Amino acid sequence: MKRLVLAGLVLVAACSADAGNAAQAGTLTLSLTAAGPNDGAIVVVVSGGSVVSVDAPAGYQIASNSDGRGTHVMIVGSVTSGVLATLHVPDVSRASAYVVTVEQVADRDSFGLLDPARYQVMVGPTK
């Protein structure tokens, strides 16, 4: 009988501990740390967690899709340093698991491809 009571207490404690760690949906921000003088489009891949949807700030147009590599996001406009997009995610506590890779950057006038290694996009909590 004591073992049954002890097992029940352990089960109740485990359940109440899990309740405090429930996922909390929210938003994360994609931010470009340094832009070139004439950037017109950037394509990034967000991996490390699921993305429910993506929103663009005023002045940008955005398209996104997901596959086995992550969520591909294309941002078009007069690309400057700062916020590029807002990601809606199922659990903001997992923000540190997300990784952003810059795949392509294009010049606004010539549409020529620029060196993506010169660009860094960070993901973090929405402020």
Flag whether 100 is in a domain.
yes
pLDDT digits (tens, 9 = 90+) for 40-61: 999 999 999 999 999 999 999 9
Give 29 or 127, the one with higher predicted confidence.
29
**What are residue 43's DSSP bridge partners?**
74, 104
Question: Average model confidence (pLDDT) for the chain?
Answer: 88
The number of distinct structural domains making up the chain is 1
Flag whether 11 is in a domain.
no
Flag whether 121 is in a domain.
yes
Is residue 1 scored above 60 in pLDDT? Answer: no
pLDDT at position 84 is: 97
pLDDT at position 20 is: 59
**Integer Cα distance of 77 and 39 in angstroms:** 8
Average pLDDT of the segment spanning 49-76: 97
Flag whether 76 is in a domain.
yes
The answer to whether 106 and 46 are in contact (CB under 8 A) is no
Q: List the CATH number of the domain containing 49.
A: 2.60.40.680
Is residue 62 scored above 60 in pLDDT? Answer: yes
Is residue 89 scored above 70 in pLDDT? Answer: yes
Residues of the domain holding 57: 23-125
Flag whether 15 is in a domain.
no
Flag whether 10 is in a domain.
no
- pTM above 0.85? no
Flag whether 1 is in a domain.
no
Flag whether 4 is in a domain.
no
Cα distances (Å, whole numbers) of residue 7 to 13, 69, 70, 127: 10, 42, 41, 44
pLDDT digits (tens, 9 = 90+) for 5-31: 444 444 444 444 445 578 899 999 999
